[in-house]
Structure formats: structure tokens, C-alpha cells
Amino acid sequence: HEMVKLMVEEIEEHNQRGLGGTITLCTGQECVSVVPSTTKDGESDTVVVTTKDISSSSSQEIITNEYNANLVIGADGMNSKVRQCLHNAPPGTWSSNCVKSTKFQPKTYTSPASFLRIKVLQLPPQFEIPDAHGKPPLKTFSQDIYAIRSVNTGPRTFLSLGLLPMKDNEAVRPTNIITRPDHGIWKITNGKSMREYFQQAFPRFNFQENGLISNQEWDRFAK
């Protein structure tokens, strides 16, 4: 995964700098326990994290690992194993009043973004955005982000062309079309009707036949 590769590169650079402290990346492990470390006086300011090797889950012998830590961050997603371990800890595991296991149970809410649908329309590299006031058109560049709104404003007719930054200025620019599931574009099944719909929604652009976007791209987008 590209994100893991970037993380590994940053860790290697950090360790090579020798500015204090080293980072060890452990992969293929799953958190199974997070408890306070045990001391003779019963007081502790560190925790013990126990993990198991995922590869050993299907074998008879489960391989576990223990790590002592001053800080544990449960940044492993919505179904965080770290938070589950803290939430499921037996009563009395944590004596501190500021550590309550119930606080580690995620609360779920229905997001306004639930059930949204997305399509991607391909625009040519460095396409121009026409100006309505007689000024020269705006030439786009790959490293810039753009959000182009339609003249339609209704919940089932509004469109926005969202373009995220890219490295290659000569590459085709994909634009994200994100709408409600009952938006009008999902009823259009042919390129000609889709092109005409976008021409009405974005009248400044040349979305005529064989204009800014090819007929083949409109056909692909409509399917």
C-alpha cells in the first residue's frame, strides 16, 4: 500500500537523522490487551500492550508480544482493537477516575454523506474555464484544486465538478461528480443526453458535440 510505503520511508529518514529516539514499525500484529503495568507499590504511569501475530491465528500456537508504553494511541480505525481492549477491560483494571472504559466505546451517527453516489468524468489536461465577463479564460493546472458549481441549485439537479491536485500537468484531469442517489444524472443512460444535461448545467463550457469532452467520454460516463 502506498501509504505504508510513505510511512516506512519517513521512519527510516527519522532513524537515520539520529535526532533522538527511534521508531520501530511492527506489522502483522493485532492488539489483544491494554492494561496498566504492574509495580510493587501498585502505582504505575505506563501500560503494557499485548499483541498477537495474525499469521499465528490459524495455527495451534498463538505467538504474542508485549510492549511497555507511556502513550498508546488507538488510531486504528472505526473498529479499533485498541479501543475494544480498553472498553472490555475487567472492572477495576484502571484505578484512575479519568480512565472510564465506557468512554472508549465509539458512538455511531448517520452521516449526511451516507448513500451518496459518485461518478468520474475525464477532462482534458490544462482545460480552460471560461469567464462570463469578457475576461480571458482561466487555464487550469494540475497542482491546483478546483470546484466548479452548476447553475442548477436544487437537491436533485445541483452539480459540482470537483478536481483534486495531481503531479502530472499533462495528464487527463478526472473530476468527481458526487450526488444524492436520486439525482437526475442517474436516470440518463446515453452520452448525448448526458452531454446536453451538463451543457445546461454549465452553460459557460463548450459541452457541444465533440467540444471540450469527446462523445466517447460522454458515452462512457453515461453508462
36-61 pLDDT tens trace: 887 766 666 788 999 998 876 565 67
Q: Which residue has the higher pLDDT, 78 or 30?
A: 30
Supply 73's cell numbers. 494511541
Q: Is the dihedral of CA 19, 22, 27, 32 positive or negative?
A: negative
Q: Is the dihedral of CA 41, 42, 47, 52 positive or negative?
A: positive
CA distance 202 to 146: 15
Q: What is the pTM of this model?
A: 0.57
Nearest CA to 186 among 157, 212, 148?
A: 157
Secondary structure (3-state) at 128: strand
Neighbours of 184 (CB within 10 A): 16
Supply 194's cell numbers. 448526458
- Whether pLDDT at 161 is above 70: yes
CA distance 131 to 216: 27
